[in-house]
């Protein structure tokens, strides 16, 4: 199922390969506070020490501190194989992301560099990402049709202009598909994150899987909604709903079932 993923990445990336998660770890660097869209389920709290979910970090660090942190952690724990940037905002909306990855790549060329993004700026960022050694990207795709997307996204901010409603959603969805296609064409491994949002996109997951697979994405990670923000009143999908969704979607695109929905400053092994 993962035959077209670069073997070096597949063997050592704990998020892509459950077996690798037993032996290898990752470090997330919280260098990216800004975001350029607003998802209705998002709440970003920067100084939270005891909450475990995406978008949370104890604090924001700069590129120099990130390099120092990676140096210390890699020295202490040789199992760390992946350096990732996963927020707390959108990594591509922050210049610090590129500076940080450049520093890390120069010092640790053997470590896998990856990041997660909403995809708005992916296509235009790819040459810079390649230059700083990024080989794997995760794109969060929660809809491939504008009607569903308008329930999920409040607005999109593209180079200083704010686009609301369907204009913003159209822009975002087009950018995601174009970014995925180009990243794959440039030899990157592309994983799709999809938040399972009951009553909003749960009947749309097959379309998302088909469209992203057609664009070249190799694997998909269906994550249960954490009810918060404007979606605080929606139910939290139960394990059986997620299991069934993954089982159905696996016929279209390979599925991940061991994601921990980590914080933006997570360090170490997944388990």
Alpha helices per DSSP H over 91-217: 95-107, 122-131, 146-152, 165-185, 205-215
Q: To the nearest 10°, the Cα dihedral for 61, 63, 65, 71?
A: 130
Nearer to ligand SF4, 87 or 168 (CB): 87
Find the helix or strand (DSSP H, E) in which 28 lies. Answer: strand 25-28
Considering the complex, what minimum distance in angstroms separates the CB of residue 55 from ligand SF4?
6
Does 89 bind ligand SF4 (CB under 6 A)? Our answer is yes
Enumerate residues 27-56 that contact ligand SF4 by CB under 6 A.
35, 37-39, 42, 44, 55
**Site string (106-135) toward ligand SF4, x via CB under 6 A:** ------------x-----------------
Find the helix or strand (DSSP H, E) in which 240 lies. Answer: helix 239-249
Neighbours of 101 (CB within 10 A): 27
Does 90 bind ligand SF4 (CB under 6 A)? Our answer is yes
- Which of 159, 168, 68 has its CA nearest to residue 108? 68
Neighbours of 239 (CB within 10 A): 8
According to CB under 6 A, which one of 25, 30, 87, 168 is a site residue for ligand SF4?
87
Segment lying near ligand SF4 (by CB under 6 A), choices 58-66, 123-131, 244-252, 259-267? 259-267
Which stretches of the chain bind ligand SF4, using CB under 6 A?
A: 15, 26, 35, 37-39, 42, 44, 55, 86-87, 89-90, 118, 259-262, 270
């Amino acid at each position: 199922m993962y035959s077209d993923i670069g073997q070096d990445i597949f063997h050592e990336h704990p998020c892509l390969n459950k077996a690798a998660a037993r032996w290898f770890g990752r470090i997330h660097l919280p260098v990216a506070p800004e975001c350029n869209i607003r998802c209705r389920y998002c709440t970003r709290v920067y100084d939270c020490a005891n909450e475990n979910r995406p978008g949370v970090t104890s604090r924001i660090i700069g590129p120099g501190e990130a390099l120092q942190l990676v140096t210390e952690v890699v020295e202490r724990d040789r199992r760390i194989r992946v350096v990732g940037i996963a927020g707390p905002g959108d990594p591509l909306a922050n210049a610090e992301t590129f500076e940080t990855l450049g520093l890390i790549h120069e010092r640790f060329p053997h470590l896998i560099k990856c990041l997660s993004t909403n995809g708005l700026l992916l296509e235009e960022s790819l040459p810079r990402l390649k230059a700083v050694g990024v080989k794997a990207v995760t794109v969060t795709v929660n809809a491939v049709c504008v009607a569903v997307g308008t329930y999920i996204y409040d607005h999109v901010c593209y180079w200083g202009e704010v686009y609301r409603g369907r204009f913003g959603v159209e822009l975002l969805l087009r950018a995601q598909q174009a970014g995925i296609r180009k990243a794959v064409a440039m030899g990157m491994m592309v994983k799709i994150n999809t938040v399972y949002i009951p009553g909003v996109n749960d009947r749309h997951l097959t379309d998302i899987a088909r469209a992203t697979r057609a664009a070249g994405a190799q694997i998909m990670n269906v994550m249960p909604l954490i009810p918060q923000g404007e979606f605080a009143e929606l139910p939290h999908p139960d394990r059986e709903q997620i299991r069934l969704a993954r089982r159905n979607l696996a016929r279209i695109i390979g599925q991940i079932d061991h994601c921990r929905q980590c914080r933006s400053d997570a360090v170490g092994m997944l388990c």
